[in-house]
Amino acid sequence: LSFSLMTMPLAALLAGSAGARTLVPEKSTLAEAHAKLGNPTDIRFDKSGGELWEYARGPMGTETYLIRAAGDGRVTAVTQLLTEAQFNKIVPGKMTKADVRDLLGRPSDEAFLYNGTSWTWRVDLKPPTGHFVVHFDAQDVVLDKIILFDLMNGGNNDHGGGRGGGGK
């Protein structure tokens, strides 16, 4: 009995990520997304009025899916936000917290530092897992970004534990 109760959250998490990948743009609907994934972790709207449903699988999960839908509820795109390609779009000195939030979804963790804020997302970089960290200044502008590998989980790299992102 305790074994099945312990595996239920894992099964729900795996079903959620698989469910997002089974949605077909231009054919699936938000109703189908809700049936497969449950309630989104956030709902917002883009500038053209399209609905954006975010499914963050944190704080320990490594996926955040964004489902974009037209006004009629038809899914137009399903995007995994926590990828190196997305991380590379972040420009220190130019982007704000709002820009990063739109690009990556909600962070897994937030830390308040003496000179600003730090947001972290848990990521799967195949093979290692790790953390993508964005540091903001007191005006909420990106100062820098870095990927930190979980060395305890097989993270093996030549970057001394992280892959830098550059400052201003």
**Is pLDDT of 156 > 70?**
no
Q: How confident is the model at residue 48 (pLDDT cuts 50, 70, 90)?
A: confident
d(CA 153, CA 150): 5
What pLDDT, on a 0 to 100 scale, did the predictor assign at position 82? 93
User: CA dihedral defined by 102, 105, 107, 112, rounded to 10 degrees?
Assistant: 20
Statement: residue 102 has pLDDT above 70:
yes
pTM for the full predicted model = 0.75
Percent over 70 (pLDDT), the chain? 78
pLDDT of residue 155: 44
Quote the pLDDT of residue 61: 81
- Phi first, then psi, for residue 119 (nearest 5°) are -110, 145
pLDDT at position 128, please? 84
pLDDT at 10 over 80: no
pLDDT tops 50 at residue 14: no
Q: Is the pLDDT of residue 8 over 60?
A: no
Which residue has better confidence, 153 or 114?
114
Residue 60: which pLDDT band, with cuts at 50, 70 and 90? confident
| Beta-carbon contacts of residue 121 (< 8 Å; ≥ 6 apart) | 58, 64, 82, 104, 105, 107, 108, 131, 132
Does the structure show a pLDDT above 80 at 2? no
What SS3 class is residue 90?
A: coil
- pLDDT greater than 80 at residue 168: no
Give pLDDT tens digits for 67-99.
Answer: 999 989 999 999 999 998 999 999 999 999 999
Report whether pLDDT(35) > 90: yes
